[in-house]
Amino acid sequence: MKNSVAIVTGASQGIGRSTAIRLAKDFTSLVLIARSREKLESVAEEIRGLGAEALILVADLADPAAPAKIVEAALSRFGRIDALLNIAGAVPQIDLLEMTDEQWDAGMALKLHGARRLTIAAWPALKEARGSVVLISGNSAQFPKAPYAAVGTINAAIVALAKAFSDRGLEDGVQVNSVLPGPVMTGRRRSYLERWAPLHGLSVEDATAKFPREAGIARYGEPEEIAELMAFLVSPGAKWMTGSALRMDGGEVKAI
């Protein structure tokens, strides 16, 4: 994949960081998007160490003006866009009856509308390159629960949005898929467990073991494992795969 360019949002930490670093093995250039310059600098340094070029763009995808600026900067620097991986978008886990309109809107603005706007902004370049798009969703799209109402609702919308983009992509030569990770041990999840454990009289180690058991899985996933799937979806070997919602969850979802 020589002279190829990928944009990765949410690239400063977690699955986004791991995906950006994994793609440095395949892509010549990476455009890294997040809200923290310091964290992006760390990712960029690692990517450059792997022999790829990295462009850092600090942006908040909840801002409607951000996508056009990102695409303009990517094209100005590299001249093309071959892949777009929409990974940004932490959604608060608040009970359905307690979430405010502002909290709902914030989750929608970043994860759903941010991915929608950026995909649309990048679409002409992706069409020209016959490129690939991945949108990250999550298992909660298939079994939303009251404490995770916003997460489940937005993730379900992401799957539907990816399907709609893939339908348009049949005409324009752009491949679009979504990925539904199960419980992954990111820094954000680790911080949550460190806060949650003492409130329930548990050690962090016991709390970390408790959740996979309750989910019916052997262990948490690792960000690097999701990154491998993301890398496959934007590789030449996956070009005939489009409109798919791929679950990678250690067996958490028991339904067929």
- Beta-carbon-side half-sphere exposure of residue 166 (alpha carbons within 13 Å): 19
Instruction: Compute how many other C-beta atoms are within 10 angstroms of the C-beta atom of residue 29.
Output: 23
CATH (one of 1.10.30.50, 1.10.1610.10, 3.40.50.720, 3.40.50.300) for 5-184+222-248: 3.40.50.720
Checking if the pLDDT of 19 tops 90, the result is yes
Q: What is the pLDDT of residues 197-240, one digit of tens each?
A: 898 899 999 989 988 998 899 999 999 999 999 999 999 999 99
pLDDT at 32: 98
- Other residues' Cβ atoms within 10 Å of the Cβ of residue 93: 14
Percentage of residues in the chain with pLDDT exceeding 70? 100
Q: Would you list the domain boundaries of the chain?
A: 5-184+222-248, 185-220
Query: H or E stretch including 195?
Result: helix 187-199
* H helix intervals, the chain: 14-23, 37-49, 66-78, 101-107, 114-129, 149-172, 187-199, 204-215, 223-233
Could you tell me whether strands 132-136 and 83-86 are parallel, antiparallel, or unpaired per DSSP bridges?
A: parallel
The per-type count for the chain, helices as H runs and strands as E runs, is: 9, 7
Q: Is the pLDDT of residue 107 over 90?
A: no
Query: Residue 172: how many CB atoms within 10 A of its CB?
Result: 14
Alpha-carbon distance 245 to 160, whole Å?
A: 9
Which pLDDT score, from 0 to 100, does residue 66 have?
Answer: 98
* β partners of residue 246: 179
Asked whether the beta carbons of 11 and 22 are under 8 A apart, the reply is: no
